[in-house]
Amino acid sequence: MNDHPSRLSTPDLRDECLDGAECLFDAELHDGPDPEDRFEHPDARAAREDVAKDICATCPVQVACLEYAIRTKPTSGVWAGLTADEIAQLHALRVERKQFDIAFEEVA
Ligand code: SF4
């Protein structure tokens, strides 16, 4: 199942507070082509992701999208202006920070 905001139904967008998502009009721009249908050269993917990131930068639901992306743990696509790898790194940093905060509270 593909959970990218550009592929969600209207009720699901509403449930995730993603009404107004700017990526709805061209899902492939953010989510990429189906790898079973078409190979995407890495240079083409990088160029597509740059354009997608520009769209995310002006999207009115970018903050909600980032929280949704961190929860969803995507493996591909551009979400809230970040690639799936960048979202995974952000998630790891958050976990690390939370563990630090817990350890700090224990010694404070
Ligand atoms: S921030 Fe980007 S991926 Fe998220 S809903 Fe907006 S346009 Fe789509």
Checking if the pLDDT of 1 tops 70, the result is no
Q: Above 80 in pLDDT, residue 4? A: yes
Measuring from atom 3 of ligand 1, which residue has the nearest CA? 79
Could you read off the pLDDT of 20-61 as tens digits, one per residue? 999 999 999 999 988 888 899 999 999 999 999 999 999 999
In this structure, which amino acid lies at residue 87?
A: I
Q: Is the CB of 30 under 6 A from ligand 1?
A: yes
Instruction: Answer yes or no: is pLDDT of 104 > 90.
Output: no
**Global pTM value:** 0.87
Going from the Cα of 55 to the center of ligand 1, the distance in angstroms, rounded, reads: 7
Q: How far is 40 from 46, CA to CA, in rounded Å?
A: 10
User: If you average pLDDT over every residue of the chain, what do you get?
Assistant: 93
Helices 62-72 and 84-107 pack at an angle, to 10 degrees, of 80
Q: Where are the domains of the chain?
A: 5-107
